[in-house]
Amino acid sequence: MQTEKKSFFTTRFIQFMGGKNLLFGLITLLLAGCIIWIYDRISFIFYPIVVFLRTVVLPVILAVIAYYLLRPILKILIKWKVPKVGGIFLIYIVGIGLISLFVTLIFPFLKEQFMNLIQEFPSYFMQVVHSVQHLLEDSRLSETLAKYNFDLNSVLNNISNQLNEMVKDASSEIGTGLASGVTGFISTLTGIILAIVTVPFILFYLLKDGENLPNYLLKLLPPRMRKDTAHVLHEADHQISSYIQGQILVAICIGIMVTIGFLIIGLPYAVILGVLAMMTSVVPYLGPVIAITPAAIIAVVNAPIMLLKLAVVWTIVQLVEGKFISPQIMGKSLHVHPITIIFVLLTSGSLFGVPGVVLGIPGYAVLKVLVSHLFYLFKRRYNKYNDQPSLNYELDDWAKLREEEK
């Protein structure tokens, strides 16, 4: 009996990699690269699409964030037998009321404190710098600086001049913007107004039909891809929801605790510093460092003992947040190592600025879900073509459940 001659595409490795599909995949990647290169040569054709995406991205992101914040409230209202549309309108009415109260009662006070802090902060900073200067001049380090011809006074003068210029630029930014770039100012203002106007409409339809969106997307895919895609969508939704809801709740708790602590120790601008701590706490690890810096400068200028009180308050807040609040609210939903978070924040911030810092972690969480599932598919394919069961990958619980379903 004549044995069938094996071809290149019937070898174990090529079969594991996909057989003839591997060749077709490589050709597809090559063609995709050629298409991308051609489109890069004629990128001006897609400028209207780029403008459209820039206009749409901001309101969509804001609407998605609001959707994940308000979805649990809507589910509670639905459990209380409130119709979905009626619950959405009820949320809108309460939200408009809270925003109106904030604008009329709280915003003027915060605005006044913020403007005063902006005007006085350079003087606070320079007082700290001069204190450090006197400390250095009275120490042996001054002899070392003089030995290397390091003029500390000129450095301090440069810092002072730069701060004064920054304050002047900040105070006249609106006027110069209107005088020098009316078109850019109008464009930016139009984008902000469009975002504010369109967010409620996008949010309404997300709250109304957001739960049905994954099913609609799954119907567009081939049937054999729907289960895996449904799992990826479910995990991505869970990751984004857990991060947005948890991080904002944690930030609010930190802002309240910091404000109360600063008021107790009598730190000037306690409320605006608490609001700053709340806003920066949305960014893990790097946010608290940004928030504590102006508070520490103000504390040092007022009284050295105030810095010690500030350290006590900040330590208590971080302990309560790290040991009680975050474990209860955030849990272990992201499973991201702190070093990874820092690298993601630095990279996304360098690429996309402030939006990258804010959205870097949830974006990484979604990417991690996708890559983890692709790795699971690789493990499952490896186990299928491996002829030694003892060397198979161990699949996770979800994967074992999927195997049992088959």
Q: What digits encode the pLDDT tens for the residues 27-78? A: 888 998 898 888 888 877 877 877 777 778 878 888 888 899 899 999 999 8
Of all residues in the chain, the percent with pLDDT exceeding 70 is 74
What is the pTM (predicted TM-score) of this model?
Answer: 0.71
pLDDT tens, position by position, 185-196: 565 666 667 777
Q: Is residue 319's pLDDT more than 60? A: yes
Least confident interval from 99-108, 111-120, 382-391 = 382-391
Helix (H, G, I), strand (E, B) or coil at 232: helix
Tokens of 193: 């107004």
In a domain, 85, yes or no: yes
Q: Following DSSP, what letter does each residue of 107-151 receive, concatenated?
A: HHHHHHHHHHHHHHHHHHHHHHHHHHHHHHHTSTHHHHHHHTT--
Confidence of residue 180 (pLDDT cuts 50, 70, 90): very low
What is the CB neighbour count within 10 angstroms for residue 280?
20
The residue range of the domain holding 113 is 48-118+183-220
Confidence of residue 137 (pLDDT cuts 50, 70, 90): low
pLDDT tens, position by position, 223-277: 888 888 888 888 888 888 888 888 888 888 898 999 999 999 888 888 888 888 8
Distance CA(348)–CA(55), nearest Å, equals 21
Highest mean pLDDT among 80-94, 214-228, 233-247: 80-94
Looking at the 3D structure of the chain, how many domains does it have? 1
In a domain, 132, yes or no: no
Of all residues in the chain, the percent with pLDDT exceeding 90 is 5
| pLDDT for res 55 | 75
In a domain, 200, yes or no: yes
Residue corresponding to tokens 């161990």: 394
Distance CA(271)–CA(265), nearest Å, equals 12
Least confident interval from 39-43, 50-54, 122-126, 129-133 = 129-133
| pLDDT for res 89 | 92
In a domain, 62, yes or no: yes
Q: For residues 308-334, give the mean pLDDT.
A: 78
| pLDDT for res 216 | 86
User: What sign for the dihedral angle of Cα 6, 9, 12, 15?
Assistant: negative
In a domain, 91, yes or no: yes
The H-or-E segment that residue 71 falls in is: helix 47-79
In a domain, 16, yes or no: no
Distance CA(280)–CA(291), nearest Å, equals 6
Confidence of residue 181 (pLDDT cuts 50, 70, 90): very low
Task: Give me the chain's average pLDDT, please.
Answer: 77
In a domain, 397, yes or no: no
Provide CB contacts within 8 A for 320, sequence distance 6+: 257
| pLDDT for res 177 | 44
Distance CA(210)–CA(199), nearest Å, equals 15
Q: Which of 355, 232, 233 is nearest to 282 (CA)?
A: 355
The answer to whether the beta carbons of residues 207 and 77 sit under 8 Å apart is: no
| pLDDT for res 60 | 86
Residue 175 buriedness (CB in 10 A; 0-12 / 13-18 / 19+): exposed
In a domain, 371, yes or no: no
The H-or-E segment that residue 404 falls in is: helix 397-405
Provide CB contacts within 8 A for 125, sequence distance 6+: 163, 297
Q: Which of 19, 362, 52, 353 is nearest to 198 (CA)?
A: 52
- Comparing 14 with 105, the larger pLDDT belongs to 105
| pLDDT for res 93 | 93
Q: Mark out the alpha helices in 303-396 (DSSP H runs).
A: 304-320, 326-329, 338-352, 354-385
| pLDDT for res 147 | 61
Q: For residues 78-105, give the mean pLDDT.
A: 89
| pLDDT for res 158 | 67
